[in-house]
Amino acid sequence: MRTKPDLSFWKLWNLSFGFFGVQIAYALQSANISRIFATLGADPHQLSFFWILPPLMGMIVQPIIGLLSDKTWCRFGRRIPYLFVGAIVAVAVMLMLPNAGSLGLTTQVVMWGLTGTMLFGLMSLMFLDTSINIAMQPFKMMVGDMVNIKQKGLAYSIQSFLCNAGSLVGYLFPYIFTFFGVQNVAPEGVIPNSVIYSFYIGAAILILCVIYTTVNVKEYSPEEMAQFGNEEEESAETKAEAKPAAKKVSIPYTFISIGLVQFFCWAAFMYMWTYTPGAIAAQCWGTTDTASEGYQAAANWVGVVFAVQAVGSIIWAALIPQFKSYKLAYVVSLLIGGVGFISIYWVTNQFVLWVSFLLIGAAWAGMLALPFTLFTNALQGNPKMGTYLGLFNCTICLPQIVAAVLGGPILKALTPEGGAAPEVDMLVLAGIFLLLGAASVFFIKEAKAAKKA
């Protein structure tokens, strides 16, 4: 019998490095989708409906990718073929999406209250998020496949760091291009060049990072995986004999309890991605006119504060291992993030927003690393790791879909008659959701391997 060997830091790094490029694409989508559709003519009460597609495609695609890749063994590996195909499609769509307003499509309503340009943007968004999900899921699965239980927390922390570093770059691109003189305003209904160039450069980095991982990572063969699986089962049995009181945590219970926390967390961040541009424009620039220079400047600043959030997340991710248990780290992370969201209600200075988003970064760090660590430890040695992780992605996607469906009606109920939509109120609601998520962590039962020494 063989055990999974300890991997060097750089092997763990290479395993997740492509995630850096994937996350740049995801950050560009997250920070700019509301900006793009608002520029194309969408009403604030419509914005949340455009956000239904990304999590919906993730919920459909990632379980399928998990199931198929569990059964895939070829000369290129088990997970890597899906990673590469997803990246290629994502690059193609990233070259199309920001040009939705420049193709001469009709600006008249075509169907469902949407114009031709918005329909093109919507279809591009669907393909973009589908491809990002196809590329993203294999990275999580490869950690489960190739890293032993002892190093799994470190591996997911590295992945979290690369995720946040990629987010930092993607969020800042429009601001950086504007700083160097690229046009940040455009005719009504047209996306500014600062956003278009950001997607172009992001696509180039994505494919280069994915190529790096595919060249530097060799997945274990089916025979090796079978030996590792048997060894882990034997090891578990040996430990059980030595410590009869130890009990396995039920996978369905773990799935449901972590899923409850995930529901509140991902609903909160769905509202952040959807309503931050409008909230900052109104709070700090005093405008709701999407064609104005002030609105586009505020939209650039969204990338800046999201980057600040990523920095906060990187800092907090380094502190998470210092906690005595993953559950305690989870609770504290979400409480800090909840305070950050709620504080935005009183902020009218663009620089003071940095404090709020640094705090929000703590929640994001916890959400990226801790649920997968807790869940994969409960799955240790399970041959259907990819399938379970694909299904687990539903705990990320479903709350976003629910939040997107309810976002418009909630905002409409909060909007005074004849007044502007108070999008900042949706960020306060996001903070309340994180506080509820922190309370829900107490329902989780940690697997023995997940507890700190």
Angstrom distance (rounded) from CA 425 to CA 433: 13
CA terminus-to-terminus distance, the chain:
26
Closest CA to 183 of 310, 286, 98, 305: 98
Angstrom distance (rounded) from CA 162 to CA 343: 28
pTM for the full model? 0.77
For the domain made up of 9-450, the CATH class stated in words is: mainly alpha
Closest CA to 121 of 69, 172, 51, 23: 51
Angstrom distance (rounded) from CA 205 to CA 213: 13
pLDDT tens sequence across 389-436: 667 778 888 899 999 999 999 999 999 987 888 999 999 999 999 999
Burial class (CB in 10 A: 0-12, 13-18, 19+), 146: buried
Q: Which SS3 state, helix, strand or coil, does residue 124 take?
A: helix
Dihedral sign for Cα atoms in the order 306, 311, 317, 319 = negative
Angstrom distance (rounded) from CA 91 to CA 206: 7
| Per-residue pLDDT at 266 | 95
Q: What is the mean pLDDT of residues 359-384?
A: 78
Hey, which residues does 114 pair with through a beta bridge? 111
pLDDT tens sequence across 262-303: 999 999 999 999 999 999 999 999 998 887 889 989 999 999
pLDDT tens sequence across 71-83: 777 777 778 888 8
**Percent of the residues in the chain that have a pLDDT greater than 70, as a whole number:** 85
| Per-residue pLDDT at 321 | 83
Angstrom distance (rounded) from CA 159 to CA 12: 9
Per-residue pLDDT at 232 exceeds 80: no
Backbone angles phi, psi at 111, to 5 degrees: -160, 155
Mean pLDDT, the chain, as a whole number? 82
Backbone angles phi, psi at 226, to 5 degrees: -65, -40
| Per-residue pLDDT at 359 | 97
| Per-residue pLDDT at 448 | 56
Q: Which helix (H) or strand (E) holds 220?
A: none
In 45-196, the DSSP E strands lie at 109-111, 114-115
Q: Which helix (H) or strand (E) holds 68?
A: helix 53-70
Per-residue pLDDT at 450 exceeds 70: no
Q: What is the mean pLDDT of residues 227-244?
A: 48
Q: What residues contact 286, with CB distance under 8 A and at least 6 apart?
A: 294
pLDDT tens sequence across 313-330: 889 988 988 888 888 999
Q: What is the DSSP letter of 74?
A: B
pLDDT tens sequence across 189-205: 788 999 999 999 999 99
pLDDT tens sequence across 294-310: 998 999 999 999 999 98
Q: Where are the domains of the chain?
A: 9-450
Reduced 3-state DSSP string for 155-176: HHHHHHHHHHHHHHHHHHHHHH
Question: Residue 54's Cα: distance from chain center in Å?
Answer: 11
| Per-residue pLDDT at 438 | 95
| Per-residue pLDDT at 250 | 62
pLDDT tens sequence across 145-182: 788 777 877 887 788 788 878 888 999 999 999 999 99
pLDDT tens sequence across 89-129: 999 989 888 887 776 665 555 555 667 777 877 788 888 88
Closest CA to 168 of 357, 396, 430: 357
Measured torsion, CA atoms of residues 55, 411, 46, 169, in degrees rounded to the nearest 10: -50
Q: What residues contact 46, with CB distance under 8 A and at least 6 apart?
A: 37, 113, 408
Per-residue pLDDT at 337 exceeds 90: yes
| Per-residue pLDDT at 244 | 42
What is the rounded radius of gyration, in angstroms, for the C-alpha atoms of the chain?
22
Q: Pull the structure tokens for residue 252.
A: 């369905």
Residues making up the chain, counted from first to last: 453
Decide: 356 and 344 in contact? Cβ < 8 Å.
yes
Per-residue pLDDT at 233 exceeds 50: no
